Structures are given as structure tokens and as C-alpha cells.
């Protein structure tokens, strides 16, 4: 999937899942979205579900083309976004995690660490320059969970929206996008958004 010259999709499609979050029927599977932004510095946006660790790390390695990532931006702590944080940090020992304070507190609960020596806490309006790409953070609490951040790339004008504008379904399936996005919004974010 082409996003831009500097932004590559490294996510995975899950065709083995039948119920998302144990309750939403997903006959066309799910996509777990992750991206690489390559510039003077390299940022990886989110990880993927634990069942796809190896596929995701392979996708990541190909997209990095021999470069080491500088940052892992964690926008949301739900496991389909965060399950591979520890694996990422082991594979890339010089990378730092960029996320909200609340997300780091949740990391302590999930993984037993807040990555104190390798973290950058960001909030509303903070920026992370990568080179020509500058990531600007927008707090989006309760767009599903309380720690959610969205990230806007000011160069390519791309919004990484966490769960805010998601949909049910894998990306390699042709389906009515609006229908699955509407169903996702009603089930996942509608009660808060």
C-alpha cells in the first residue's frame, strides 16, 4: 500500500480472527496498522497484535532498508496496537518510545516497565522533528481508551488517527468501506466520540 515516498505501511492482515475484541463479528478479518516514516530520523508508528510478531518484524526490516529506527510512536495501548512494544525494544536497543504519560503508566501495568530510560513523553501540541517530517501530537482521550494520541505529519499532511477513523476488515479484501467503517464507529468509538 502506497502512502507517500517516505511513509511505508508495515501492518498485517489477520484472516484467522472471527470476533474482534471477542464481540464484533469480522467475516473479512482485521488489519493491524503500523507504518514507518523514513527521514533523517526514522519513526515507527504503533506495533501489531502478538499473533503477527514475526510477519510484522519482517515487514519492518524490509521497510527500514538497513536503517535502525530512532523512535516507536505508541498512539494507543490496546493490544492490537501495542502487543509488540517489548519485542521492538529488544530488537532495536537504541530506539526510544514516544507516547503519552497515561500510555507509559499503562505500559507499566502491561509489561512491568515504563521504559524510563528510553521514553519521550508527549502531549497536546508537542512536536517531534524527524527532518523535513515533523510529527505533531494531538491528545484524543476516550477515542476508545483514555491514553490515545493522534499524530499528524506536517510534511506529507498525513494523520495517524489511532482508532479514530478505523474500520473492520483486512485491507486485502474488497468490501464496502463505508459500511464497515460505520459499524466500527458505532461499536468501537461511538460511545465516546
Residue 169 lies in a domain: yes
pLDDT score of 2? 87
Residue 27 lies in a domain: yes
In terms of phi and psi (left: phi > 0; alpha: psi -120 to 50; beta: otherwise), the region of 175 is beta
Q: Which uninterrupted H or E stretch holds 20?
A: strand 19-20
Give the mean pLDDT per block of 10 residues along the chain (193 residues). Answer: 95 93 87 97 98 98 98 94 96 98 95 94 98 97 86 98 84 84 75 63
Q: Which residues contact 132 (CB under 8 A, 6 or more apart)?
A: 39, 40, 155
**In 10 A of CB 120, how many CB atoms?**
14
> In angstroms, rounded to a whole number, what is the distance separating the alpha carbons of residues 190 and 110?
26
> In angstroms, rounded to a whole number, what is the distance separating the alpha carbons of residues 27 and 168?
9
Query: Which of 36-72 are b and which e, b meaning 16 or more Cβ less than 10 Å from the residue's Cβ?
Result: bbbbebbbbbbbbbebbbebbbebbeebbeeeebbbb
Degrees to nearest 5, angle at CA 50 with 94 and 52:
95
Residue 58 lies in a domain: yes
CB 113 within 8 A of CB 107: yes
**In 10 A of CB 107, how many CB atoms?**
22
Residue 2 lies in a domain: no
The CA-based dihedral angle spanning residues 9, 188, 20, 91, taken in that order and rounded to the nearest 10 degrees: 40
Residue 171 lies in a domain: yes
Q: What is the domain extent for residue 173?
A: 7-189
Please give the tally of structural domains in the chain: 1
pLDDT score of 134? 99
pLDDT score of 191? 66
What pTM value is reported for the model? 0.94
Residue 1 lies in a domain: no
Q: Looking at residue 85, which CATH number applies to its domain? A: 3.60.15.10
Residue 48 lies in a domain: yes
Amino acid at each position: 500500500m502506497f502512502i507517500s515516498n517516505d511513509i511505508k505501511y508495515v501492518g498485517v492482515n489477520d484472516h484467522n480472527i472471527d470476533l474482534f475484541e471477542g464481540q464484533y463479528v469480522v467475516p473479512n478479518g482485521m488489519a493491524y496498522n503500523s507504518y514507518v516514516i523514513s527521514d533523517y530520523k526514522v519513526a515507527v508508528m504503533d506495533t501489531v497484535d502478538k499473533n503477527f510478531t514475526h510477519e510484522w518484524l519482517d515487514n519492518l526490516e524490509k521497510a527500514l532498508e538497513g536503517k535502525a529506527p530512532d523512535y516507536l510512536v505508541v498512539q494507543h495501548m490496546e493490544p492490537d496496537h501495542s502487543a509488540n512494544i517489548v519485542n521492538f525494544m529488544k530488537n532495536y536497543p537504541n530506539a526510544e518510545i514516544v507516547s503519552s504519560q497515561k500510555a507509559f503508566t499503562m505500559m507499566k501495568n502491561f509489561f512491568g516497565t515504563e521504559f524510563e530510560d528510553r521514553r519521550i513523553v508527549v502531549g497536546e501540541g508537542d512536536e517531534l522533528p524527524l527532518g523535513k517530517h515533523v510529527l505533531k501530537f494531538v491528545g484524543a482521550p476516550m477515542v476508545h481508551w483514555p491514553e490515545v494520541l493522534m499524530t499528524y505529519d506536517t510534511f506529507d499532511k498525513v494523520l495517524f488517527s489511532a482508532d479514530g477513523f478505523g474500520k473492520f476488515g483486512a485491507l486485502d479484501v474488497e468490501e464496502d468501506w463505508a459500511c464497515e467503517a460505520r459499524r466500527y464507529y458505532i461499536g468501537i468509538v461511538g460511545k465516546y466520540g
